[in-house]
Amino acid sequence: MIEDGKILRNIAIKGDFRLIEFQSPEIAAKVLPGQFAHIKIHELRDRVLRRPFSIYDTGKNGRLSVVFKVVGEGTGILAGLKEGATCNIIGPLGKPFSLPESGKTPVIIAGGYGCAATYILAKKSPSGIILIGARNEGELILVKEFESLGFEVRISTDDGSAGKKGLVTDLLKALIKEKKDRLGYLSFYGCGPHGMLTAAGKIIASAGLDGELSMDHLMCCGIGACFACVQKIKDKSSPEGWRYARTCKEGPVFKVSDVVF
């Protein structure tokens, strides 16, 4: 689906993170957890290259919002767009997270914008636990929003300025130990930097568990045509035992057991 999204709000939420809300009724009506929007920023010099953003939330009257971090030219320009301006949006794209099976509790591992990418999943699931990792307190976002959903929020920061000092994967190891008698009742999900996802995926697999990770890669077309966004996944039918999957079309969400880390 493709439509022009009128900007209703574009506000700073914390540090370099912002929330932008579009009126995008066609796309908003179809969004599933973990799907993304491919946004064309008209003011950008290389405007043919859209920028992919996970859909944070949808609301009344066709509202669709994204939480983004200003990291470069595209996000810098996006940050400066005013109410009433438009961006052309393709979406919702990608394979979504599956909701936890009945009786299972979600455990989300998130870093950076990973909290935004998993918010709809949390909203549609029974309340569970989210492990959030950040460099420091200034990079922690959406904690209150997850608490409002009844989620238990466990935090780690590299410098100890909030939560436990260390890595979010330390929180994951501790949780697996703590819940060792109930592991079969937990559904694991992850979104964040690749290093974090690789470490989390290995921990989940080595505990004999499975889960779903959003393996976000740089994207070009966003619709499966260019192979710019590939991830190695296991494939018994190929002589090498693996193949490249297009994360925009076959992902970004993959089972831990399918990913080659």
Ligand X SMILES: Cc1cc2nc3c(=O)[nH]c(=O)nc-3n(C[C@H](O)[C@H](O)[C@H](O)COP(=O)(O)OP(=O)(O)OC[C@H]3O[C@@H](n4cnc5c(N)ncnc54)[C@H](O)[C@@H]3O)c2cc1C
CA–CA gap between residue 117 and residue 252 (Å, rounded) = 11
**Under the criterion CB under 6 A, does residue 97 sit at the interface with ligand X?**
no
140 binds, among ligand X, ligand FES, none (CB under 5 to 8 A by kind): none
CA distances for 12 relative to 30, 69, 103, 125, 196, angstroms: 27, 10, 37, 28, 26
**Under the criterion CB under 6 A, does residue 94 sit at the interface with ligand FES?**
no
Q: Which is nearer to ligand FES, 118 or 247 (CB)?
A: 247
Which phi and psi angles does 95 have, rounded to 5°?
-80, 130
Residue identified by tokens 């709000």 is 9
72 binds, among ligand X, ligand FES, none (CB under 5 to 8 A by kind): ligand X
User: Is the Cβ–Cβ distance between 60 and 87 less than 8 Å?
Assistant: no
Q: How far is the CB of 223 from ligand FES (least distance, A)?
A: 7
User: Is the Cβ–Cβ distance between 100 and 33 less than 8 Å?
Assistant: no
Q: Considering only residues 2, 29, 225, 261, which one is a binding residue for ligand FES as defined by CB under 6 A?
A: 225
**Under the criterion CB under 6 A, does residue 92 sit at the interface with ligand X?**
no
Q: How far is the CB of 42 from ligand FES (least distance, A)?
A: 20
**Under the criterion CB under 6 A, does residue 227 sit at the interface with ligand FES?**
yes
Total of chain residues touching ligand FES, rule CB under 6 A: 12
**Under the criterion CB under 6 A, does residue 53 sit at the interface with ligand X?**
yes
**Under the criterion CB under 6 A, does residue 219 sit at the interface with ligand X?**
yes
One-letter amino acid for residue 94 of the chain: G
**Under the criterion CB under 6 A, does residue 252 sit at the interface with ligand FES?**
no
For the chain, helix, strand, coil in percent to 5 are: 25, 35, 40
Q: Which is nearer to ligand FES, 57 or 250 (CB)?
A: 250
Residues in contact with 27: Cβ distance below 8 Å, sequence separation at least 6, in sequence order: 1, 3, 5, 37, 64, 89, 91, 92
Q: How far is the CB of 64 from ligand X (least distance, A)?
A: 12
Q: Considering only residues 79, 220, 223, 260, which one is a binding residue for ligand X as defined by CB under 6 A?
A: 220
Could you tell me which stretch among 140-148, 168-176, 216-224, 237-245 binds ligand X (CB under 6 A)? 216-224
For 144, what's the count of Cα atoms within 13 Å in the CB-facing half-sphere? 2
Q: Which is nearer to ligand X, 155 or 213 (CB)?
A: 213
CA distances for 204 relative to 104, 107, 109, 209, 215, angstroms: 16, 11, 11, 5, 15
In degrees, rounded to 5, the angle at the alpha carbon of residue 98 between the alpha carbons of residues 259 and 211 is: 40
Q: Which residues of the shown chain bind ligand X in the complex (CB under 6 A)? A: 36, 46, 49, 51-54, 66-69, 71-75, 113, 116-117, 216-220, 228, 252
